[in-house]
Amino acid sequence: MADRSVAIVGGRVVPIAGEPVDGGTVLVEDGRIVAVGGDVAVPAGVRVIDVAGSWVLPGFIEAHGHLGVHEEGEGWAGSDTNEMTDPVTAQVRALDAINPADLGFRDAITGGVLAVNVNPGSGNPIGGQTVALRCWGRTVDEMVLREPSGMKSALGENPKRVYGEQKKTPSTRLGTAAVIRGALVDAANYLQRLEAEQRKPEGERKPVDRDLKLEALGKVLRREIPWRQHCHRADDIATAIRLADEFGYDLVIDHGTEAHLLADIIAAKGIPVIIGPLFTSRSKVELRNRSLANPGRLARAGVTIAITTDHPVVPVNFLAYQAALSVKEGLDREIALQALTINPARIAGIDDRLGSIEAGKDADLVIWSGDPLNVLSRVERALIGGVEIYAYEEGGQGVFASG
């Protein structure tokens, strides 16, 4: 087993949780960070990596992507994002369709992205369960950080188009909302049946037949996982908020192309927005107001943001570039880095392990040649659990660890 104790010394350490430290040290023992700062003593015998002149940051986190379920270079055979045979597929899990051999995972690492929240697609009003995982591992099971990490739902053009073409419900926005509401009512009734049996004396209880669909939706209603709402247009965002208020679940807005138009409402309710992808054309009506200035508009209104490529819509290794150009268009650079690290970690419920360089967290670290918000900077090394998994070599060749 690789040595998981190491000291990374001499670089500009950007911990996210505190001020940057020039000439700082990150001390890692048994795969976890134990100390970070400018005067950290390095125990004898600990392997030292001198990164003078480089920047050290936590691994970036793609807050909404389809790595492993929509594979690079595989076409139809590698596309498993949408189970479009039923408008409500809450029982399906992204976990069960992820191929760790997808080339997208290695692309992610070369772009400094070491973790991703993988979502089902947006063809169904309720698309299924998301999973947060690392971008490195032989099996998806060893990559998992949190499962499930959310429930994917979609409003707007996509489910309307998919089922309208099939001449099924829903073919309209009002039909989509009705399908979602009906499924959540069914789940609430299911939970009531379970709770009613639990209240009875043990000898009088009758088994309630398991229902995987309603079990999964029950996690949302019990606020065990957030509702991940695909929506672009302001009217669809308002519908997302209305449904969340009705059923009392934790809402996350995914995409949020027009979220800036309702930024004051979103901020007041404490709803995070995962904004993007930002490197796309305005390919449909919902995207008419897409702009690299929108992340800054949301942040200035007090909205917690994360930035997404929606890989493979935009290649995941361009995540930092989207943030950099958002800074160019008015986003505060400190918030931009938070939108790539601690904010997506909190949204996915993995901030106890990832998202910042702090004692007690996993040593999932990236050494950059310079400021990661400079598009000329590159990833020089990447470590997961203190183990180096990637190194850049002169001539443009990246070398991954074996296994």
Structure tokens belonging to residue 112: 């400094």
- For 389, residues 6+ apart whose C-beta sits below 8 A from its C-beta are 109, 136, 382, 383, 400, 401
pLDDT of res. 1: 39
Amino acid identity for residue 127 in this structure: G
Domain shared by 136 and 229, yes or no: yes
Could you tell me if 22 and 147 lie in one domain?
no
251 and 287, same domain (yes or no): yes
Cβ atoms within 10 Å of 130's Cβ, excluding its own: 27
Q: Are residues 106 and 171 in the same domain?
A: yes
Whole-number Cα distances in Å, 296 to 99, 259, 292, 311, 329: 35, 11, 8, 22, 7
- Antiparallel, parallel or unpaired: β 126-134 and 113-118: antiparallel
Determine how β-strand 113-118 pairs with β-strand 60-65. parallel
Identify the bridge partners of residue 35 per DSSP, sorted by sequence position: 27
Q: Is 146 helix (H, G, I), strand (E, B) or coil?
A: strand
Range name among 2-11, 215-224, 276-285 with the lowest pLDDT average:
2-11
Answer whether residue 187 is part of any domain.
no
State whether 113 and 9 are in the same domain. Answer: no
Whether 306 and 351 have beta carbons less than 8 Å apart is answered as: no
Q: Which residues pair with 21 in a beta bridge?
A: 13
* Residue-level pLDDT at 165: 96
| CATH code, domain with 97 | 3.20.20.140
Residue 70 shares a structural domain with residue 14: no
Do residue 81 and residue 155 come from a single domain?
yes
Q: What is the mean pLDDT of residues 180-190?
A: 98
CATH of the domain at 48: 2.30.40.10
Phi-psi region of 116 (alpha: psi -120 to 50; beta: other; left: phi over 0): beta
Identify the CA nearest to 60 among candidates 377, 337, 385: 337
Query: How many distinct structural domains can be found in the chain?
Result: 2
pTM over 0.85: yes
Q: Is residue 288 part of a domain?
A: yes
What are 292-301's pLDDT values in tens digits? 999 999 999 9
Q: Check: CB of residue 28 under 8 Å from CB of residue 83.
A: no
Closest CA to 272 of 301, 307, 232, 303: 303
**pLDDT band at residue 403 under the 50/70/90 scheme:** low
The closest alpha carbon to 250, from 275, 274, 219, belongs to 219
| Pair (162, 243) in one structural domain | yes
The pLDDT value given to residue 395: 74
pLDDT at 154 over 60: yes
- How far is CA 278 from each of CA 81, 295, 316, rounded to the nearest angstrom? 21, 10, 12
In this structure, are 348 and 364 located in the same domain?
Answer: no
pLDDT digits (tens, 9 = 90+) for 325-384: 999 999 999 999 999 999 999 999 999 999 999 999 999 999 999 999 999 999 999 999
Question: How far is residue 4's CA from residue 299's CA, in Å, rounded to a whole number?
Answer: 37
Q: Are residues 105 and 239 in the same domain?
A: yes
Helix/strand number for the chain, H first, E second: 11, 17
Are 281 and 323 in the same domain? yes
| pLDDT at position 220 | 98
**Mean pLDDT value across residues 73-78:** 90
Amino acid type, 243: L
3-state helix, strand, coil in the chain (%, to 5): 30, 25, 40
Which amino acid is present at 233? R
Sign of the torsion formed by the C-alpha atoms of 344, 348, 351 and 355: negative
Residue 370, domain extent: 1-59+355-403
pLDDT band at 2 (very low <50, low <70, confident <90, very high): low
**Mean per-residue pLDDT for 218-226?**
98
> Residue 125 — pLDDT band, cuts 50, 70, 90?
very high
Please check whether residue 197 lies inside any domain of the structure.
Answer: no
